[in-house]
Amino acid sequence: MFYTYIIKSCKTNRYYVGYSEDVIKRLNQHNAGQNMSIKCGVPWNLVYTECFSNKTDAWKRERQIKKYKGGKAFKMLIGEVA
């Protein structure tokens, strides 16, 4: 299984969207500072996941969510808009 996920920085209140086969392992990597582009946001909390049967679908969903650019559809995913 593959997952599309959204994490939120406790430090900066910014979000990061990604995909992975192991979300918990990936979250631990983010929190260990292994991703240089978001290292400044440590610690991160998992706020949303979706499960897919293959990598391609998870990647496509990641791209779709990133196109939301923080708009209403994105806020609905993370529960900020009813």
Most distant pair of Cα atoms in the chain: their distance: 34
Domain boundaries, the chain: 2-56+64-77
Q: How confident is the model at residue 37 (pLDDT cuts 50, 70, 90)?
A: confident
Structure tokens of 58?
């998870």
What's the angle, vertex CA 25, arms to CA 44 and CA 16, rounded to 5?
35
Q: What pLDDT, on the 0 to 100 scale, is given for residue 30?
A: 95
pLDDT tens column, 42-79: 999 999 999 999 999 999 999 999 999 889 999 999 98
Per-residue model confidence (pLDDT) at position 45:
97
Q: Which residues contact 66 (CB under 8 A, 6 or more apart)?
A: 17
Predicted local confidence at residue 82, as pLDDT: 55
Question: Which pLDDT score is estimated for 69?
Answer: 85
Query: How confident is the model over 13-33, as pLDDT tens digits?
Result: 999 999 999 999 999 999 999
Three-state DSSP class for 70?
Answer: coil
Name the pTM for this structure: 0.92
Task: Please compute Rg for the chain using Cα positions.
Answer: 12
